[in-house]
Every structure is written in structure tokens, then in C-alpha cells.
């Protein structure tokens, strides 16, 4: 062979070797970079507990699904309590200021009554509370502000009633999903609340399905489906003007087939008169659980009530309560009002517990209601 050809072949082999070496160095450099990043992550986050690792895995999974990740429940409650405390300073602070006056005379007690009534507590519960508090302050001769605060706390908790069962139907029984119907006047926050509840349930590892039984306008089903996507759950919907009861039926049927834990049914609030409301909600309620057979009635009917609407809202709530048996109340927009007293009034009026409270428009702005937690937030 000619010498130049041999030289060319040698050069080509050297070239290939150099390129191969270059590629392998780059790859190992990238790997090292990744390793370094991971080490930094671990340094920043420190030791991860099993829960934190599980949460991180869930987060990645949810991100892969393209949906948002619910905040961890404990953190959410702390944040919500802060917000509730802020929004209700009017009531709690007002009462504490009045009670810490040197002289608790007749006019001071009247002012205490006025403060409670202005916060929508209702006349009857207010009178009860003030009478009991007056009696106890007198008997105990309590003058120390901390002592008086303690008495007020106890009496407020009694008024809100810590003995009520505020749990929510949240799991399948015998293969049947729990069915929750959400009702209330338009704008109260029904659709938002359905989204928020779904998110809490998803965070608890429950399988959830939404039913868009507000067929009054196409945008309603759209809004619900958007919440569904956000939270990572499916929405059963039909065309605008479809029979709401048939949507509820289909949602529950699918929920049962899919082995869902909970089916949440959103309804329309825009009903012209009481007769129409009774007919429609009554039918939705009856038909929804038909796929589950005899003996499985609806598990929960939640009435969503806007806390800022005061007496007017209470009147509307009564109409809904007459139309359909309510099992729990969701009081929304407590972030926008100092009138937290409506909790007491609405429970009295309807005889059912406030189970959840809405404290903002965000997906995590929903908290379970407890008498102690609520009163402590008022008095914070």
C-alpha cells in the first residue's frame, strides 16, 4: 500500500478516537453536574422524612398530570387561622375591649350586646350569651382581663356548640361512592367550594368525581371542569339546558363504575321561585343516587352560604333548607367580613352544623370548622 494512504487511515483512526473521547468526557461531566445538583438539594433540604419524600413524589406525579398540588393540610390550617383571626378582629377585639373596662355597668353590657348583634350573632343567642356571662362575672367577681377572656371564650364555644358532628361523608361504603350535593343561591360560592373540597379529598388520597348539574348556562360546567383539571379530577357534564337530575345520575353511575370514593354534584343557584327550586333540587336529590339502588340516599347536602349577606342570606338559606334536607353548611367569604357571628345564627336557624368555612378565592382557602378553633381565632 502507498504510504500516503496508510497515513490517511492512521489519521482517520486518531480522529475517531479523539471524537469518541470528547463525547464520553462530556457525558460524564453532565452526570457529575447532575450529581452535584442533587447533593446541593439534599444539603438545602436536610434529612427528608418519609412523609416529606412521599409528598415530593406526589408533587412530581401531580406535576406530570399537569394539575396543581394541594398544600399539606396542617400548613393550610395554620395559614387559614391567621386569616380568620385577621378578618374577625372587629368582633373579638371589640368584646375584649368592652369586657376589660374598669366598670362593667349596664351601658357596657348593652354595648357588648350591640357588638354581638352587629356581628350577626342574632338577638336570641346574644341575649343568652350576655345573660350567662353577666351571671358568671358577678358570681366569680372576675375582674382580671385574662379571667374574663377565659369566661367569654367558654361561653362563645358553648354558643357555637362543640358537640355537633361536623364530619363530612368522604368515603365509599360497600363499593358505593359517597354522594354530596352542593346547593345555594347564585354567587354564594358553590362551584368554588366544590373545587376546594375536591382538592382536600385528593390530598387525602380519595378518588373524586365532579358532576356539573348546573346546566343553566354553559359557562357553569366550564368553570367546574376547570376546577376539576386544576385539582386533577374528572368532571361529568352534559350540554347546556340538559336535565340537572340526569347529569347527577350519570356522575354517580360513573363514580360507582370507577370505584370513586366521593361524587360531588354542583347545582344551579339561579332559580326563580321557591316552587321551582323545590321541584328541581328535590328531583336531583332523588335521582342522583338511583344508580346505587334502594337504600342508598344522598349522603350529604351542603348549603353554601355567603357570610357577607347577613339577614338576607339567612332568609334565602331558609328557603333552601325547606326545599331539600340540608346536612351541613359551608360558610364562604368569612375573609371579607367581621360578621363571623352568622355561624351561630345560621346553625340555630337551620339546626345543622357549619362544617366548612371559606376564607378566600384560592384553592386551599377552605378549612374544616371547629367551635374551639373558630372562637380562638375570633379572640386572637
Ligand X SMILES: Nc1nc2c(ncn2[C@@H]2O[C@H](COP(=O)(O)OP(=O)(O)OP(=O)(O)O)[C@@H](O)[C@H]2O)c(=O)[nH]1
Residue nearest to ligand X (CB): 358
Q: Which is nearer to Mg ion, 115 or 267 (CB)?
A: 267
C-alpha cell at 182: 352542593
The listed partner (Mg ion, ligand X, none) that binds 184, CB under 5 to 8 Å by sort, is ligand X
Q: For residue 64, what are the CA distances in angstroms to 55, 197, 206?
A: 14, 22, 19
Place of cell 358553590: 190
Could you say which residues in the range 261-290 bind ligand X, by CB under 6 A? Answer: 269-270
Could you say which residues in the range 285-314 bind ligand X, by CB under 6 A? Answer: 304
- The neighbour count for residue 74, using CB atoms within 10 Å, is 8
Give the whole-angstrom CA distance, residue 119 versus residue 261.
38
Q: Residues 159-198 vs ligand X: string with x where CB under 6 A?
A: -------------------------x-xxxxxxx------
Question: In the chain, how long is the greatest CA-to-CA distance?
Answer: 122
Could you say which residues in the range 213-242 bind ligand X, by CB under 6 A? Answer: 214, 220
Q: Which is nearer to Mg ion, 116 or 263 (CB)?
A: 263
259 binds ligand X (CB under 6 A): no
Q: Which is nearer to ligand X, 113 or 300 (CB)?
A: 300
* Interface with Mg ion (CB under 5 A), residue from 115, 191, 309, 327: 191
Give 173's DSSP letter: B
Q: Which is nearer to ligand X, 88 or 332 (CB)?
A: 332
C-alpha cell at 77: 390550617
Cβ 353 vs Cβ 163: under 8 Å: no
359 binds ligand X (CB under 6 A): yes
Q: What share of the chain is helix, strand, coil (3-state, %, to 5)?
A: 60, 10, 30
Give the whole-angstrom CA distance, residue 123 versus residue 133.
15
Total site size for ligand X, rule CB under 6 A: 22
**Residues lying near ligand X in the complex (CB under 6 A):** 184, 186-192, 214, 220, 269-270, 304, 332-333, 335-336, 358-361, 365
Amino acid at each position: 500500500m502507498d504510504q500516503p494512504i496508510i497515513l490517511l487511515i492512521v489519521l482517520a483512526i486518531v480522529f475517531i478516537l479523539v471524537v469518541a473521547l470528547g463525547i464520553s468526557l462530556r457525558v460524564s461531566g453532565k452526570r457529575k453536574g447532575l450529581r452535584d445538583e442533587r447533593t446541593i438539594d439534599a444539603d438545602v433540604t436536610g434529612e427528608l422524612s418519609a412523609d416529606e419524600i412521599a409528598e415530593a413524589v406526589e408533587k412530581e406525579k401531580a406535576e406530570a398530570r399537569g394539575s396543581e398540588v394541594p398544600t399539606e393540610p396542617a400548613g393550610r390550617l395554620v395559614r387559614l387561622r391567621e386569616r380568620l383571626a385577621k378578618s374577625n378582629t372587629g368582633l373579638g377585639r371589640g368584646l375584649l375591649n368592652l369586657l376589660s373596662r374598669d366598670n362593667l355597668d349596664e351601658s357596657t353590657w348593652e354595648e357588648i350586646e350591640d357588638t354581638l348583634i352587629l356581628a350577626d350573632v342574632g338577638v336570641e343567642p346574644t341575649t343568652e350569651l350576655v345573660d350567662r356571662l353577666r351571671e358568671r362575672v358577678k358570681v366569680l367577681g372576675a375582674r382580671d382581663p385574662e379571667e374574663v377572656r377565659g369566661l367569654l371564650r367558654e361561653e362563645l364555644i358553648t354558643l357555637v356548640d362543640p358537640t355537633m358532628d361536623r364530619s363530612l361523608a368522604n368515603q365509599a361504603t360497600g363499593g358505593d361512592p359517597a354522594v354530596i350535593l352542593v346547593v345555594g343561591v347564585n354567587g354564594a360560592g358553590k362551584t368554588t367550594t366544590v373545587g376546594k373540597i375536591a382538592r382536600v379529598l385528593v390530598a387525602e388520597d380519595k378518588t373524586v368525581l365532579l358532576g356539573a348539574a348546573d346546566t343553566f348556562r354553559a359557562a357553569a360546567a366550564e368553570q367546574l371542569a376547570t376546577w376539576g383539571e386544576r385539582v386533577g379530577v374528572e368532571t361529568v357534564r352534559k350540554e347546556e339546558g340538559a336535565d340537572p337530575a340526569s347529569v347527577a345520575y350519570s356522575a354517580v353511575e360513573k363514580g360507582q363504575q370507577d370505584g370513586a370514593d366521593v361524587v360531588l354534584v354542583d347545582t344551579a343557584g339561579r332559580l326563580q321561585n321557591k316552587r321551582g327550586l323545590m321541584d328541581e333540587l328535590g328531583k336531583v336529590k332523588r335521582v342522583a343516587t338511583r344508580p346505587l339502588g334502594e337504600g342508598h340516599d344522598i349522603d350529604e347536602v351542603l348549603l353554601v352560604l355567603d357570610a357577607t349577606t347577613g339577614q338576607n342570606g339567612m332568609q334565602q338559606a331558609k328557603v333552601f333548607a325547606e326545599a331539600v334536607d340540608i346536612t351541613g353548611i359551608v360558610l364562604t367569604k368569612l375573609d371579607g367580613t367581621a360578621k363571623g357571628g352568622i355561624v351561630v345564627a345560621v346553625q340555630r336557624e337551620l339546626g345543622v352544623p357549619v362544617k366548612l368555612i371559606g376564607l378566600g378565592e384560592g384553592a386551599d382557602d377552605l378549612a374544616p370548622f371547629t367551635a374551639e378553633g373558630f372562637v380562638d381565632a375570633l379572640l386572637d
